[in-house]
Amino acid sequence: VAPVRRELGLRTVFNILGPLTNPAGAQAQVIGVYDPLLSLKLASVFQMLGTERAMVVHGSGLDEITNTGETAIAELKDGEIKSYSIMPQDLGYPLAGPGDIAGGTPEDNARKLVAVLKGERSPARDIVAMNAGAAVYVSGQAASLKEGAMVAEEAISSGRSLDLLHKMVEMNGDYGKLVRFL
């Protein structure tokens, strides 16, 4: 389904069905949606499915928390859904421009990822920490989104995140390709 969906270049119901099928049985999830009107609806579906914690996010046209503007959030916690918005400054990050986080070729993106995980300060690192921080928060390992982002920042700064990338590539990929970007 994914190759056909990519070829169409359109958002489809499969963009939403993937997270809902949840083959891993995760009880805590952060899900990005391409349309902010889907946030509350999807959070309600998670509530009906018995998901313990979920955060459905849409950030200024992106299906993730963004540092380029406002992020709309529908959060499921303790059986209740709360809807709110955040700005990057609420988590301690400066506002960035869309070009600051834009992707490029696979090689460019790999370089950016390695730079982020090496701890280089950039808007790309900020958006990674914000989204990883949301996962930390929803998993119950932080009391707030801001605290979750701080935990993610520490994982990057300590080198643990880069170590995990090394291990993952050693187990599943072509380590020689990773070495080109280090």
- What is the span of the domain harbouring residue 142? 96-182
In a domain, 91, yes or no: no
Convert the pLDDT of each residue in 123-178 to its tens digit. 999 999 999 999 999 999 999 999 999 999 999 999 999 999 989 888 887 777 77
Look at residue 174 in the predicted model and tell me its pLDDT: 78
Q: How far is C-alpha 177 from the geometric centre of its chain's CA atoms?
A: 24
For residue 120, tell me if it sits in a domain. yes
Q: Helices 106-117 and 160-172: crossing angle, nearest 10°?
A: 140
Same domain, 120 and 149: yes
pLDDT of residue 5: 47
Distance CA 38, CA 57 (A): 9
User: 20 and 81 share a domain?
Assistant: yes
Q: Are residues 113 and 162 in the same domain?
A: yes
| Number of domains into which the chain is organized | 2
13, 46, 153, 160 from 81: Cα distances, Å = 23, 10, 27, 33
| pLDDT tens-digit readout, 87-132 | 999 999 999 999 999 999 999 999 999 999 999 999 999 999 999 9
Q: Is the pTM of this model over 0.85?
A: yes
